Amino acid sequence: MWRIYIESFIGLFFLFIVSLFAFDYVVYQLNPDYDNVLEDMQAAAVHRVLSTLSEPQGSEFTAQLLANYAESTASTLNMVPVDVAPKEVRDYFAQHSPPHPYSFHDNDRALWLIFPDSNTFYQIAPDETAMVRQKIDFSDSLFFVFIAAGFLIYSSWLIWFIGRRTRALQHVTAEFAKGNLNVRAPTNSGSKVGKMNESFNEMADKISQLITSNRSLTQAVAHDLRTPIFRIQWQAEIIHEETHSPALKKKIASIIEDTEEMEQLVDSLLYFAKVGRQDAPLNKEEIAARPFITHLIARLPNAQNRQIDAMIDPDIVFMADKTLLKRAIENVLVNAMRYSVSRVTVHCSQHAQTIKIIVEDDGPGIPEPFRERVFEPFFSVDPSRNKANMGHGLGLSIVKLIVEKHDGQATFKEGSTGGAKLVLTIPNPDSDNQ
């Protein structure tokens, strides 16, 4: 919001300055300054009056009248010989027919008067030490202070006014991004930001319908596939028992293995749809990190005898859904075991108000362009999808879904040995109280 405030204030101030320059150019550059024209006319009139009054009285009387005039107008009177007057003044009166033959305002708006048959200029200049002129200067300065204060107040009010409305929309957007598909922006007149609230709600409705129908379809298809898969598996097992041909037995065993893989895929699809439901509960409980993770490592199948190193802070205790987190960490460990060459490393540490669980392998790693996409369902870096070294394509998607339900993050980075390093970051706001 501060950025909006600064941009608004600078924009308004810049517009004001540009307006002043435009006004000065149009009024004073393209046209005569009529304030100065009026002053010149008034000066000529004063000269005529003084000439009429002082003609029979002489120059001393003229000087006295001018002194009284200067004193009454908070000005000073100076009598300057013609030969020492400023060049600007002498050049003006030296003209053949100046606009006003006996009066002239210089660039400082000081009035110069001369009378016929006189060798002296009378200069009437503003007395800057006079109280009234100091008050005028102060008022002029105060005007700009009020202008700046007005901009400041208006910008602050504008930011407050816009911020009050956008904060509600910002909160709704953040909640929707977290997966709360039921949240909607307020549409009352006091909270609307133009048509943005209605547009957001329309977009949210369409996205919610699309996601809900997609999850429902996934769950329905996965559920309906169970029966035909079971039939194929059952019939294949019967044929396997009744046949005596070794070659046929081998083929049927491969079919049974494929149906078991399909069954696992269906289970993963159902689990993915279940966890992805908005109304799926999150039953948080206190978890001690070291015994929890070491137990999962101990249960992990390790047919290739991979070395697993675990470095877990024994003091870490945090709140999470134990069942969901167990599934997420198991998926991460299985994935690391599948792609590692000889070693998998597990770290668990506490940083500020977060828990970081890092699983690193010494396998081929994941190219940087694919480190976000590997969390997409059924995405594979290797398009050949080698059966011997491939899962069901949902393991990492389930991991990301579970971690995000805990308001956390799952990210891939390059490991110290060039392999893949998956970092699970889980908020732990109660860590300061431990």
pLDDT tens by residue, 190-209: 777 778 888 989 998 998 88
Query: Which stretch of 84-98, 146-160, 269-283, 345-359 has the lowest confidence by average pLDDT?
Result: 269-283
The pair of three-digit structure tokens given for residue 319, joined into one six-digit string: 């709140």
Average pLDDT of the residues in 313-321: 91
d(C-alpha 48, C-alpha 71), whole Å: 19
In terms of C-beta density within 10 A (0-12 exposed, 13-18 middle, 19 or more buried), how is residue 116 classed? exposed
| 180 or 95, higher pLDDT | 95
- Domains with residue ranges and CATH for the chain: 32-127 (no CATH), 196-276 (1.10.287.130), 284-433 (3.30.565.10)
**pLDDT tops 80 at residue 230:** yes
- In order of 69, 232, 349, the CA distances from 358 in angstroms are 91, 41, 9
pLDDT at residue number 385: 46
Return the pLDDT at 411: 94
pLDDT at position 280 over 50: yes
Most confident listed range (225-239, 251-265, 410-424) = 410-424
What does the pLDDT read at residue 377? 83
pLDDT band, very low/low/confident/very high, at 383 (cuts 50, 70, 90): low
Contact yes or no for 63/73 (Cβ under 8 A): no
CA 340 to chain centre: 40
pLDDT for 122-161, tens place per residue? 999 988 888 988 898 888 888 888 888 887 787 778 778 8
Q: Where are the alpha helices (DSSP H) in 316-426?
A: 322-339, 395-405
Task: Give dist(CA 123, CA 418) in Å, integer.
Answer: 89
CB-based contacts of 54: which residues, under 8 Å, 6+ apart? Answer: 61, 62, 65, 115
Distance CA 320, CA 314 (A): 17
Helix or strand or coil: residue 355?
Answer: strand
Q: How sure is the predictor about 434, in pLDDT bands with cuts at 50, 70 and 90?
A: low
- Examine the pLDDT at 260 and tell me if it is beyond 60: yes
* pTM exceeding the 0.85 threshold for the entire prediction: no
Q: What DSSP designation does 1 have?
A: -
CA dihedral 93, 99, 101, 106 (to 10 degrees): -50
Asked if 102 and 66 count as a contact pair (C-beta separation under 8 A), the reply is no
Given this model, what pLDDT does residue 384 score?
46
3-state secondary structure of 114: coil
Separation between Cα atoms, residue 146 and residue 177, nearest integer Å? 44
Nearest to 340 by CA among 365, 358, 357: 365
In the structure, what pLDDT confidence band is assigned to residue 1 with cuts at 50, 70 and 90?
low
Span 30-53, pLDDT tens digits: 888 788 888 889 889 988 888 887
Query: 3-state class of 69 per DSSP?
Result: helix
Summarize the confidence of residues 386-411 as an average pLDDT.
80
Model pLDDT for residues 175-192, shown as the tens digit of each residue:
888 777 788 988 887 777
431 pLDDT above the threshold of 80? no
Averaged pLDDT, 212-233: 78
| Angle of CA points 352, 357, 360, to nearest 5° | 135
Neighbour count for residue 357 (Cβ, 10 Å): 24
Beta strand ranges found along 209-361 (DSSP E): 284-288, 307-312, 317-321, 343-351, 354-361
Angle (CA) 290-291-293 rounded to 5° is 70
Q: Within 10 Å of residue 360's Cβ, how many Cβ atoms?
A: 24
The sign one gets for the Cα dihedral 366, 367, 370, 371 is: positive
Predicted local confidence at residue 392, as pLDDT = 63
Beta bridge partner(s), residue 357:
348, 424
410 in Cβ contact with 400 (< 8 Å): yes
